[in-house]
A and B are shown apart, each in its own frame.
Chain A
Amino acid sequence: DAKTTQPPSMDCAEGRAANLPCNHSTISGNEYVYWYRQIHSQGPQYIIHGLKNNETNEMASLIITEDRKSSTLILPHATLRDTAVYYCIVRARGGSGGYQKVTFGTGTKLQVIP
């Protein structure tokens, strides 16, 4: 799996958009970008994933650059409950009957400030 680089920490004002960057300059053509978050003392929570097109769901938006070397997770209106460690992971798609393990880096600790 390609290595990812994220800033260790970020602050965001409550109600504002939180933009979390991730660099994955060695990503391969068959690797997806996944975002998870971990709230203190809980298991990680899946947020969103994409290959090359921008994606949006009820939790967040994922913007992937055209060269796919970086991406940004956007939480449109951050709340205090969004305070967590956010992990950006790239993973190859599994082949027929196959699987790909997820390896976690150190992530970005997002602090939402009242």
Chain B
Amino acid sequence: GAVVSQHPSWVICKSGTSVKIECRSLDFQATTMFWYRQFPKQSLMLMATSNEGSKATYEQGVEKDKFLINHASLTLSTLTVTSAHPEDSSFYICSARVYGRDQPQHFGDGTRLSIL
């Protein structure tokens, strides 16, 4: 149980385009999902917390107009990288938590984004 699916797993696109990444909790409902970014040989950096039915909470230094997050249902959150540029190339990972006070987060397999 507690499977998180992320799509697509790999995307290559031209500079200036927008890219949407989906994160789905397959067998549980998630009122909260999290989006991370990871550069090569670095740890995961939390970008934002996605809340179902409300605005996302962004970490300091993350541009909310650049990284649009929508959490329209209890099983789906999307991250849209708007007007992507080469410096946005990274590994993007989402996670979701099963409801319960000590329940762990479960992570998707990540999306590798390459902007040419």
Residue of B nearest to A96 (CB): B101
Q: What CA separation (Å) do A93 and B97 show in the bound complex?
A: 12
Known contacts A101-B49, A103-B46, A104-B44; A43/B110 CB under 8 A: yes
**In the complex, which of the residues A38, A87, A99 contacts B32, with contact meaning CB atoms closer than 8 Å?**
A99
**From residue B103, how far is it (CB to closest CB) to chain A in Å?**
8
Which A residues from 1 to 58 make CB contacts under 8 A with B?
A: 32, 34, 36, 38, 41-46, 49, 51
| Interface size grouping (class) on chain A | 20 to 34
- Interface size for B (C-beta < 8 A) is 26
Q: Tell whether A102 is near chain B: CB-to-CB under 8 Å.
A: yes
Q: What CA separation (Å) do A58 and B101 show in the bound complex?
A: 22
Residue of B nearest to A85 (CB): B43
Known contacts A105-B43, A107-B43; A44/B101 CB under 8 A: no
Q: Find out whether the CB atom of B43 lies under 8 angstroms from the CB atom of A99.
A: no
Q: What CA separation (Å) do A102 and B93 show in the bound complex?
A: 13
- What are the 6 tightest A-B residue pairs by CB atom distance, in nearest-first order? A43-B107, A93-B101, A104-B44, A99-B32, A46-B104, A44-B107
